[in-house]
Amino acid sequence: MNSIELKNLQAPLKEKYTTNPETALITLKAIGNLSDGISCKVNTGKAMIEAGLHPATGGTGMLACSGDMLLESLVACAGVTLSAVATALGIEIKSGEVKAEGDLDFRGTLAVSKEAEVGFKSIRLSFTLDTTATEEQLQSLAKLTERYCVVYQTISKGVAIETVYN
């Protein structure tokens, strides 16, 4: 896809959302079912993923780790966003790799230490690109990728979560 095809694809959506802003508000959903043992089966819409404990918390390593899934979501969103931004700007990306790494202190998760935070202490997102883009183009690409990546913005800004038990 080139920038003209992308703009033609998105133009009617942008017009619709400008004219009727309420149509841009969409609720995405994820549903999981508690499974045998300590696991949860999550339907991704493309495949069923069974998540369980990370080996650092007693898991076998045979099930997906939700922390890994969070990083995978960040990588997927950042990769798609970077590709879309590059296409819109007419920047050719011959190939590339997106990598996310996050540091966890499992003492918090296992309630070993009240001082240890539960969750990622830090996350690093990196891109290795094969491109002829100039330094200025790469800076624009980075800035716009960060700005428009849904998962990046959600993680970096934080979001209120309402929890309901039925």
Give me the domains of the chain, ranges plus CATH numbers.
3-157 (3.30.300.20)
Choice between 159 and 27, residue whose per-residue pLDDT is larger: 159
Q: What is the mean pLDDT of residues 33-47?
A: 83
First to last CA, the chain: 46
User: What is the pTM for the complete model shown?
Assistant: 0.88
Distance, in Å, from the CA atom of 149 to the CA atom of 154, rounded to the nearest integer, reads 9
pLDDT at 139: 97
Q: What is the mean pLDDT of residues 74-80?
A: 96
pLDDT in tens, 118-154: 999 999 999 999 999 999 999 999 999 999 999 999 9
pLDDT over 80 (residue 83)? yes
Strand partners, 130: 95
pLDDT at 35: 77
pLDDT band at 47 (very low <50, low <70, confident <90, very high): confident
Residue with tokens 């959600």: 154
